[in-house]
Amino acid sequence: MFEQAQTELATLRDLLRFAVSRFNAAGLCFGHGADNAWDEAVYLLLHSLHLPRDRLEPFLEARLTSAERANVLRIIQRRIDERLPAAYLTHEAWLGEYRFYVDQRVIVPRSFIAELLREQLAPWIDDPDAVQAVLDLCTGSGCLAIVAAHAFPDARIDAVDLSPAALDVARRNVADYDLAARIRLAEGNLFAAIGKQRYDLIIANPPYVNAESMATLPAEYRREPELALASGEDGLDLTRAILAGAGKHLKPHGLLVVEIGHNREQLEAAFPATPFTWLDTSAGDQYVFLLHRDELP
């Protein structure tokens, strides 16, 4: 079938239709930047052809050279055969307007905290210029630390991860944004890496997949580091540790913001006396919570 495509398909529209058909027929799983076959195919084709990622229509009837066609078909086939998320094929992921280098050493960035940071956590932070110190736990690729550095231009950011391989990727992204003077990367297990430092804001997108879900993850998600996904039987092991340690590292007025996936019900059952504030995101108000320092359990 791919051999036929190389000789019989001519335009970008042809290749796009072919990609969507093959993705659907293969039963691919999406969720690493796109949630359907069409959007993922559009992204992969535009990226492969070095075209603007937001400009499809002007190029739909453009004919491809044989070399371009072979390159496009190669990435389509890899997406199917290897079940690699698109971000690992292109080595890039986007959070809004921010682009990050990624590979299989880090989870693919997709945090709702990024969209909250772009609004400088309003109205919970009324003076962004007063934020002087931020801690990003489980930083992975460094994406949230970098977005936080732009949201709070006077802040210094500590970004912590347990994985030295992930920190190598984060180091590359920090350098790409010329933020090495403001973002300090630290290897360690949560707060163990930062001594007695205190912060105006702690953000975390920790592992939060429970054991039952880990056992049934689609192939695309199993390509990501298990260390960045699994968090015990109920998915709350890392969140419990963050709640237990955050109080010692927040300033008196400090805020804690944590993303927990689909675990709101379990978290509220585990901490019934804790007054979680659930923040509105593009997907709803059940994925990210906020606590003031004096509200911590």
Short-list 244, 238, 221, 205, CA closest to 116? 205
Rounded CA-CA distance 293/278 in Å is 16
Q: Could you tell me which of 184, 188, 186, 191 has the C-alpha nearest to residue 243?
A: 191
Confidence grade of residue 170 (pLDDT, cut at 50, 70, 90): very high
pLDDT at 2 over 90: no
User: Within 10 A of 87 (CB to CB), how many other CB atoms are there?
Assistant: 26
Percent of the chain with pLDDT over 90: 95
pLDDT at 172: 98
Q: Is the dihedral of CA 130, 136, 85, 10 positive or negative?
A: positive
Angle at 284 between CA 294 and CA 252, to 5 degrees: 15
Based on DSSP, count helices (H) and strands (E) in the chain, helices before strands.
Answer: 12, 9
CATH class for the domain made up of 2-90:
mainly alpha
Span 175-182, mean pLDDT?
Answer: 98
Looking at residue 131, its pLDDT comes to: 97
For the chain, the structural domain boundaries read: 2-90, 105-295
pLDDT score recorded for residue 6:
83
pLDDT at 9: 87
CA distance 12 to 122: 42
Q: Which tens digit of pLDDT belongs to each residue from 231-249?
A: 999 999 999 999 999 999 9
* CA–CA distance, 184 with 160 (Å, rounded to integer): 8
Domain 105-295, what fold? Rossmann fold (3.40.50)
* Mean pLDDT on 160-173: 98
Q: Is the pLDDT of residue 8 over 90?
A: no
* Residue 251 half-sphere exposure toward CB, CA atoms < 13 A: 11
Find out whether the peptide bond into 85 is cis, omega within 30 degrees of 0.
no
Q: For position 181, what pLDDT does the model report?
A: 97
pLDDT tens figures, 246-291: 999 999 999 999 999 999 999 999 999 999 999 999 988 899 999 9
pLDDT tens-digit series, residues 91-134: 999 999 999 999 999 999 999 999 999 999 999 999 999 999 99
Residue type, 134: V
Task: Tell me the pTM.
Answer: 0.94
Question: Can you give the pLDDT at residue 194?
Answer: 95
pLDDT of residue 202: 98
Q: Residue 90: its pLDDT value, please?
A: 97
Q: What is the pLDDT of residues 129-162, one digit of tens each?
A: 999 999 999 999 999 999 999 999 999 999 999 9
- Residue 120: the pLDDT is 97
**One-letter amino acid identity for 13?**
R
CA–CA separation, 88 vs 141, rounded Å?
13
Phi, psi of 77 (to 5 degrees): -65, -40
Residue 7's pLDDT band, with cuts at 50, 70 and 90, is: confident
- Residues 6 or more apart whose Cβ sits within 8 Å of residue 51: 59
Query: Residue 5 — pLDDT band, cuts 50, 70, 90?
Result: confident
Q: What is the mean pLDDT of the chain?
A: 95
HEC string of 19-60?
Answer: HHHHHHHHCCCCCCCCCCHHHHHHHHHHHHCCCCCCCCHHHC
The answer to whether residue 186 scores a pLDDT higher than 90 is: yes
Structure tokens at 176: 């790409």
Identify whether the C-beta of residue 152 lies closer than 8 Å to the C-beta of residue 122: no
Handedness of CA 137, 142, 146, 149 (dihedral sign): positive
